[in-house]
């Protein structure tokens, strides 16, 4: 199965990609995590490559001598195509274009695409804006979006109320597009878990812990 996470910048794709790969790995699967964050984002999977490799997850990135390049570089390694599970982390519109460039390699393979939404990011506050972004990403990647993921959060200031407000907005996107909401993401440190309409996906924040800073996560 190839699982492709797409969405606007700052929606939280990288954190979810890592946690999804860990969940699949814990079930005994052979897992590859593919970095298609091909421009200069705030955090990239390649920055955690060594740590994830020690856990047993194959991380596919660009060559080390190009790891801080601002160019839209696509990893040459295609060994991930033979993995039981491959999770692809993309970055905004440029990442969607990279997915489109690799689409021919995925022909004949079972593929699911996920559009990650943080309704508290700029230009994502209204269902109409989210749908516009979704359609643009879908066009650039040349792939249909199969599922929505509600990752609405305010970083360290996330509350149950914020999660539920985001879920309300994402539900409206689902109603208007006919795309199913797969789950709602909450950080493990949120003690008062909300009663959500959709299944909860509790994540560990790797990027914040690794880099020692807060703020935007891709």
Smallest CA-to-CA distance from 30 within 57, 70, 61, 63 is with: 57
Task: For the chain, give every domain's residue range.
Answer: 2-211
> Rounded CA gap, 141 and 91, in Å?
11
Q: What is the mean pLDDT of residues 127-154?
A: 96
Share of the chain above pLDDT 70, in %: 83
Can you tell me the distance from the alpha carbon of 151 to that of 116, in angstroms, rounded to the nearest whole number?
Answer: 6
Question: Residue 102: which pLDDT band, with cuts at 50, 70 and 90?
Answer: confident
Give me 42's structure tokens.
């705030």
| 2-211 CATH | 3.40.50.300
Please list the alpha-helical segments (H only) found in 27-146: 49-55, 92-102, 127-141
The tokens describing 196, both together, are: 């959500």
Averaged pLDDT score across all residues of the chain: 85
Q: Give the closest residue to 17 by CA, choosing from 114, 144, 109.
A: 114
Question: Looking at the predicted structure, is the pLDDT value of residue 59 above 60?
Answer: yes
pLDDT reading at 192 higher than 70? yes
Q: How far does Cα 28 stand from its chain's mean position?
A: 22
H/E stretch holding 193? none
Residue 101: pLDDT band (50, 70, 90) is confident
**Residue 104 reports pLDDT greater than 90:** no
């Amino acid at each position: 199965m190839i699982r492709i996470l797409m969405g606007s910048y700052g929606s939280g794709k990288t954190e979810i990609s890592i946690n999804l790969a860990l969940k699949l790995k814990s079930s005994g699967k052979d897992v590859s995590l593919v970095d298609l964050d091909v421009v200069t984002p705030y955090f990239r999977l390649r920055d955690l490559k060594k740590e994830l490799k020690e856990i047993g997850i194959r991380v596919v990135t660009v060559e080390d001598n190009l790891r801080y390049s601002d160019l839209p570089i696509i990893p040459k390694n295609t060994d991930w195509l033979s993995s039981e599970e491959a999770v692809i982390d993309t970055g905004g519109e440029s990442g969607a274009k990279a997915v489109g460039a690799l689409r021919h390699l995925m022909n004949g393979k079972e593929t699911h695409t996920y559009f990650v939404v943080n309704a508290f990011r700029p230009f994502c506050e209204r269902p109409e804006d989210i749908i516009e972004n979704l359609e643009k990403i879908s066009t650039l990647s040349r792939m249909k979006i199969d599922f929505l993921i509600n990752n609405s959060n305010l970083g360290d200031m996330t509350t149950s109320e914020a999660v539920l407000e985001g879920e309300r907005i994402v539900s409206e996107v689902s109603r208007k597009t006919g795309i199913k909401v797969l789950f709602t993401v909450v950080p493990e440190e949120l003690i008062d878990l909300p009663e959500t309409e959709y299944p909860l996906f509790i994540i560990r924040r790797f990027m914040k812990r690794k880099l020692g800073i807060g703020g935007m996560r891709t």
